[in-house]
Amino acid sequence: MAGLREDPVLGIDGIKREKELGTEVNTKAEDKGAESERDMAPPPHPSTTSIHRSGSRPQLDLSKAAIQGNSEERDPTILLPNQSDDISSHLSLDIGGSLIKLVYFSRHEQYSIDDERKKSVKERLGISNGNRRNYPILGGRLHFVKFETHKINECLDFIYSKQLHRGGIDSQSWLPDAPPNENSIIKATGGGAYKYTDLFKQRLGVTLDKEDEMDCLVAGANFLLKAIRHEAFTHMEGQKKFVQIDPNELFPYLLVNIGSGVDGDGQFQRISGTNVGGGTYWGLGRLLTKCKSFDELLELSQRGDNRTIDMLVGDIYGGMDYSKIGLSASTIASSFGKAISENKELDDYRPEDISLSLLRMISYNIGQIAYLNALRFGLKRIFFGGFFIRGHAYTMDTISFAVQFWSQGEAQAMFLRHEGFLGALGAFMSYEKHGLDDLMVHQLVERFPMGAPYTGGNIHGPPLGDLNEKASTISWMEKFVQKGTEIIAPVPMAPHGTTGLGGFEVPSSKGGTLRSDASTLNIGVLHLVPTLEVFPLLADAKTYEPNTIDLTDPSELEYWITVLSEHLPNLVDIAVASEGGTDDAKRRGDAFAHAFSAHLARLIEDPAAYGKLGLANLLELREDCLREFQFVDAYRSIKQRENEASLAVLSDLLTELDGMSEEVRLVTLIEGVLAANIFDWGSRACVDLYHKGTIIEIYRMSRDKMQRPWRVDDFDVFKERMLGSGDKKPPPHKRALLFVDNSGADVVLGMLPLARELLRRGTEVVLVANSLPALNDITAMELPAIVAEAAKHCDILRSAAEAGGLLVDAMVSGLDGPKENSSPVVPLMVVENGCGGPCIDLRQVSSELAAAAKDADLIILEGMGRSLHTNFNARFKCDALKLAMVKNHRLAKNLINGNIYDCVCRYEPAS
């Protein structure tokens, strides 16, 4: 078995670490294909080797660090006046003979106001601004980019255009007055780090600091397997299945590049090597088929039939199995065996058949040798990577089959989504100041912009930041729009001589089950968000699965993609209108429609293209795509109009509620939440309703239908917990987290009155809202103004809002009359949930919400996205109430065996 690195590399090396066993199989040949003495030598005796870390690592000098500009901004720019070391470590490289892989970092661009409300919430919840680390993790994005090595000048142009060799364009915010550092150091690995060192110095004025290849491969693999939730997957019979691996149970494992093995975070061991592998496949393939590239050889294999060349068991036994030793008639007895007995010349055989036979021969041998090495060390988990794999479906299938066959099903072959970037990522991690080793899986969010680097494609960079920026003679946006409906998948293309911001092209591979990597996996941008945490009230975070709907079911995926496609024209109209209907807005709206349709087309073609897919991911992909085309809040004018209409009748509703008995008021409040949840611009049925009446008319109509029993009706159990039975009165909840949903009637006439009732009973209330806009969902930035308006007519809300820091001076001046003297006031607070979609994954919530949850004993999840699409089956350590009106026919039928507009009131006492 051999590892073809990004140059013509042959071999398998094994790596062993102190706690974890992973093996790196990677023995290089010279660029001309000659084998080194090490390649032909017997495998070295296993010995422990410490992973090398460079001593010349630049560090951040945080002394006298100060906020630059507006200190009220979230994630404000930090000025480091005493920073003297080079900080160009925003970039690392793995330079192979075929591909150059880049990993680079860019800072986040999104800001929000750190206002008095947030400061008050932080004080009350005990959230510290201190850092647990002695160095900061830079919140931002980690990009993965590939170039063909023979186009290295384009790679250099890209690095220069983004100033990555000087820390990136955004580095000026760290050291705005610093002169350019012409002695910058960039971490690099691979043979090209030596071959092209002079070129980098000449073109960019930088020095390449070489990192050991195996060190980097192991470090990169360990980081990905521990920090990315669904990094690893199996591949059998054309089907990907993502595997979630507990970081505490990761080691030992075998890493094959093609081949390697790892036994801890500090040491590793090379355990084996072979001179037959990827380089063999490419070299023999060129001689036998005249193919000029590795990809061309793989493309041929997709159309091949190896039975014309390989001798099968059935050929020997007259079409019969050799069942006594477990061999089927289709088992290959001898690769290329028929060429011995047939009187044929090379030209008599189809190149396609030769390529496939050769691919099978080498893949099966790789799988067998890997398993034998795993057996030698008692390992059952084997990860495969390297240039030979490169996402090719048939290659992965044959390797998986070989491992399964020889291990009799006891061992499993697995593959990595980022496998091509292991070396570059390992080199990047050698910059300790980034703190990647401390990142947890919940602090990484993968996004898939249209300009994301594409495995096997030619994109070289992130999405365009300025739509007017030119790439060559025509803008990126114009190129995209011109493609129109021709775009069947988001495969970006970078023309020669540009900065890598080119247009989009149709993928070269179409149809068939034997697909090259040009249609298998997309690698997105990793957002590093150190402020994300696991929701502490989950009963079991390890088994928690947010998505209720299984999109691995093809019919489910097709249905929901159809729903999103049908809703797309209406969404585009709203988005364009939100920007004033200008020509520029129309242009961006058209491009957004094409882009999102391309994403959907890719997912129909390959549901696993972006990793494990749930409905929450699908819906958030739409919001990400909107933001990519600069539609920050498409529904803002609609939300404002609905908020104003709802606030106008809130006072009358509160007066009506106050005139009711306690028991009647409680059921009326729940009815109000359910009725108000009808206002959902993400539902086709509800969009149709908006054309039939005003917001108040629709709300009244919905209230008239709120007769019990509801489809899921646990109200009586909830009522007993709230009010007790007979003379026995239960204590009030200490703190309630109310996950709110839509703007307008939903939050104003539904959730605010319920929050008021809890406050009246002495329960602290935390309103949990989106961090970023999604459809007509209310955001944490918008809620304080709504609460302030509501508080003008209600002493309970006014006192609680003041106690929770929601009423700043500008708002308080508009309130009517003095407050009534009452018992000690409990606070009403607002926190952001950390997400920007209509659903919520409680494995990734804001530190604000995590802090608020620590003393909470009641959770109320409201709305389809938060309590049906996600979290319907979630269990919590505290009491939980899930409220929603079902506004989708299929969801109603499959989830609750009901109908559209049925209601869910699901109460679950603390687990």
> Which CATH number does the domain housing residue 795 bear?
3.40.50.10880
Q: What is the pLDDT of residues 817-851, one digit of tens each?
A: 445 444 568 999 999 999 999 999 999 999 999 99
The pTM score is: 0.79
Q: Are residues 162 and 287 in the same domain?
A: no
**What is the mean predicted confidence (pLDDT) over 471-485?**
35
Does the pLDDT of residue 518 top 70, yes or no?
no
Q: Which residue among 613, 647, 664 closes a domain?
A: 613
Q: What is the pLDDT of residue 685?
A: 53
Does the pLDDT of residue 580 top 60, yes or no?
yes
Four-point Cα dihedral 463, 464, 467, 469, nearest 10: -160
Number of domains in the chain: 4
**What is the mean predicted confidence (pLDDT) over 130-150?**
67
Q: Do the Cβ atoms of 396 and 153 come closer than 8 Å?
A: no
Q: Which residue has the higher pLDDT, 495 or 885?
A: 885
Does the pLDDT of residue 532 top 70, yes or no?
yes
Q: Which residue among 381, 415, 430 closes a domain?
A: 430
Q: What is the pLDDT of residues 534-565, one digit of tens each?
A: 999 999 999 999 999 989 899 999 999 999 99
Q: What is the pLDDT of residue 72?
A: 39
Q: Do the Cβ atoms of 3 and 275 come closer than 8 Å?
A: no
Q: What is the pLDDT of residues 859-884, one digit of tens each?
A: 999 999 999 999 999 999 999 999 99
Counting residues of the chain whose pLDDT is more than 70, the rounded percentage is 71
Q: Do the Cβ atoms of 898 and 711 come closer than 8 Å?
A: yes
Q: Are residues 185 and 263 in the same domain?
A: no
What is the C-alpha R_g of the chain? 30
Q: Do the Cβ atoms of 20 and 45 come closer than 8 Å?
A: no
Q: Could you please report the per-residue DSSP string of 676-727?
A: HTT--TT-HHHHHHHTSS-HHHHHHHHHHT-PSSPSEE-HHHHHHHHH-BTT
**What is the mean predicted confidence (pLDDT) over 346-363?**
92
Q: What is the pLDDT of residues 74-92, one digit of tens each?
A: 333 334 344 333 333 479 9
Distance CA 253, CA 262 (A): 6
Q: Which residue has the higher pLDDT, 733 or 120?
A: 733
Q: What is the pLDDT of residue 96?
A: 86
Q: What is the pLDDT of residue 663?
A: 94
Q: What is the pLDDT of residue 7?
A: 28
Residue 415 lies in a domain: yes
Q: What is the pLDDT of residue 267?
A: 57
Q: Are residues 153 and 284 in the same domain?
A: no
Q: Are residues 804 and 858 in the same domain?
A: yes
Of 782, 776, 788, 808, the residue nearest 650 (C-alpha):
788
Residue 121 lies in a domain: no
Does the pLDDT of residue 456 top 90, yes or no?
no
User: C-alpha angle with apex 427: 425 to 429, nearest 5 degrees?
Assistant: 70
Residue 489 lies in a domain: no
Stretch among 67-71, 307-311, 821-825 having the lowest mean pLDDT = 67-71
Q: What is the pLDDT of residues 752-779, one digit of tens each?
A: 999 999 999 999 999 999 999 999 999 9
**What is the mean predicted confidence (pLDDT) over 200-204?**
94
Counting residues of the chain whose pLDDT is more than 90, the rounded percentage is 39
Q: Do the Cβ atoms of 883 and 692 come closer than 8 Å?
A: no
Q: Which residue has the higher pLDDT, 220 or 342?
A: 220
Does the pLDDT of residue 694 top 70, yes or no?
no
Does the pLDDT of residue 317 top 90, yes or no?
no
Q: Which residue has the higher pLDDT, 598 or 764?
A: 764
**What is the mean predicted confidence (pLDDT) over 167-172?**
54
Q: Please, which residues bridge with residue 528 across strands?
A: 140, 444
Q: Are residues 153 and 267 in the same domain?
A: no
Q: Are residues 104 and 195 in the same domain?
A: yes
Residue 470 lies in a domain: no
Residue 788 lies in a domain: yes
Residue 578, domain extent: 554-613
Q: What is the pLDDT of residue 40?
A: 32
Residue 285 lies in a domain: yes
Residue 229 lies in a domain: yes
| DSSP label of 582 | -
Q: What is the pLDDT of residue 196?
A: 96
Q: Are residues 746 and 858 in the same domain?
A: yes
Q: Are residues 188 and 272 in the same domain?
A: no
Confidence category of residue 713, pLDDT binned at 50, 70, 90:
very high
**What is the mean predicted confidence (pLDDT) over 584-593?**
88
Confidence category of residue 67, pLDDT binned at 50, 70, 90:
very low
**What is the mean predicted confidence (pLDDT) over 302-308?**
88
Q: What is the pLDDT of residue 430?
A: 85
CATH code: domain of residue 197: 3.30.420.40
Q: Which residue among 377, 407, 430 closes a domain?
A: 430
Amino acid identity of residue 33, one-letter, is G
Q: Are residues 300 and 342 in the same domain?
A: yes
How far apart, in Å, are the Cα atoms of 270 and each of 51, 365, 415? Answer: 12, 19, 20
Does the pLDDT of residue 485 top 60, yes or no?
no
Does the pLDDT of residue 297 top 80, yes or no?
yes
**Mean pLDDT (the chain, rounded):** 76
Confidence category of residue 64, pLDDT binned at 50, 70, 90:
very low
How far apart, in Å, are the Cα atoms of 272 and each of 101, 135, 410? Answer: 26, 38, 21
**What is the mean predicted confidence (pLDDT) over 195-217?**
93
Residue 888 lies in a domain: yes
Q: Are residues 719 and 601 in the same domain?
A: no
Q: Are residues 229 and 311 in the same domain?
A: yes
Q: What is the pLDDT of residue 435?
A: 63
- What is residue 259's three-state secondary structure? coil
Q: Are residues 644 and 572 in the same domain?
A: no
